[in-house]
Structure 1
Amino acid sequence: MSTIAFIGLGIMGSPMAVHLAHAGHQVVGYNLTPDRTAPLVEAGGTAAESIAKAVTGADVIAVMVPDSPDVQDVLTGEGGVFDNAPADALIIDFSSIRPDVTSALAQEARSRGFRIIDAPVSGGQAGAENRALSIMVGGSAEDVESARPILDVVGSTVVHVGPNGSGQTVKAANQLIVAGNIQVLAEAIVFLEAYGVDMRAAVEVLGGGLAGSAVLKQKAQKMLDRSFEPGFRIDLHHKDLGIVGSAAREAGVVTPMGALLAQLMASARANGDGGLDHSALFRGVEQLSGKASR
């Protein structure tokens, strides 16, 4: 069993840290909002007052924070991981950030005697709570293997996809696909409702054919119920589509659908829906169709 410092106990990080504690690891959690450490403490973990205190003596440092600047601050900032973690500690970045930032941080980590992998996750709050995350991992084969006992606790699908930064690149592609599926599902539901179709039956039959998907299974009912409690917020998906756009530009490839989806996600944020689940793209389709009631 490892001593794990877990930095970032939000919607995703909290249940992940709890699972690690239940698995027998000694987990020390830190969050900017201290009350977020309560579930971990109840699960047998402990709370730290700072990143520096959390990482002291840790074998593994797990990071799950919202964006590239947050990861940079956690790792390289004053009082951060690089200045306080033990030599040869293994850093697992579960955050979804820019691949180029990940690669640069990995280079600095190695120069300072740390091991590091990027391990962004897919599956949302439900996946985190049910230990059913899909984890796309970038890093050396040796470091990924060292992290397996941790990754296997929180994920059901763990795949090494290449060197540092590769996990973030695959996650960006994942977010492009998910956003596209959510948008077309929203359009399909608004279309079907306009014709008075039995929606329960429609969703059932669509799910059994080629149109079936994890997105349809997890998000259709939220749209039908107009219930958008966040499992993965529009704000975060907006950030991820920005990563897709910038990375695609750097690679010299075009993502026209990605550009449209980024604009639709930005529109949802502008209309005050940034804190809702990304299935709330549905509200934008209703609004464009003249059927919205905000």
Structure 2
Amino acid sequence: MEVVLISLASAFLIALGHVLAQFGLRTLSPLKGAGISVPSAALAFVLLSPVFANTAGANWQAALIFAGIGCLFPAMITLMNFESNRLVGPSLTAALGNFTPVIAVISGIVIIGEFPTTMQAIALAVIVGGISLLLWKPHRLIGDIPLWALALPVGAVVIRGGALAIVKLGFATWPDAYSATTIGYIMSATVLLMTKGVIERRVPVPERSRGALWFALTGLSNGLSFLCLYAALTRGSVALVAPLVATYPLFAVGLSKLFFGTAWVDTRGLVGIAITIVGIGILLAT
């Protein structure tokens, strides 16, 4: 039950980060926002590391794994999603993102030999189906999108899913979620700031700072979601954690209604929510 609660906390914090980012995007571009959110979280983790990090069990091989993953996730994933939204649109990007837990489970099997139980496999299929039904917008998907453009959203899904299994390799020798998150965020902040510097030298972007606080809060929410995700992975299998974290759209629907008063989902969306809850129930019963 502890793993389930931590995983669902990660899902909630991801959804909260999405909502908070909407306030920041009113005055700042996505790239500028990412340049604030990720470094803000990295700084917070570094400042608190003397209190929460377990450096006594440090392992340099695990640290290299955490650093390598940090260069890709969340840094490169953030940039890839920005470009994917531009090239193929947010609907298709979100639809393909639903398959992240599937890739995570497959990676768990291939990389660390972690096979899901029959009930976990069923729950995974149910949750992916429910979330897909909730987010599915067929009239806004493929259109005239060239096949090569799909490489970005597909690549992001593969990296995000595969990262979970690789991180578990690091936890085998250094099972400290806080240290893993801190190292990963330091690397992500470095990658994002370097990329932002290169891009903005070529394309000047007007300075606006009113959204800075919102993106700092977004970074803290996303950072805590990573910490919960890694904490769950130190306690449970990828097959259990990944599907639960993938339920964040359920929380996003509720938070969007609360903060923005957006219209409730249609009948298909309600069915998708119900199916997803059934999938969570199956995982709870395993």
TM-score in same-fold range (> 0.5): no
Structure whose residues are more often helix by fraction: 2
Structure of larger gyration radius = 1
TM-score, length basis structure 1: 0.27
More strand by share: 1
Higher relative contact order (CA 8 A, sep 6+): 2
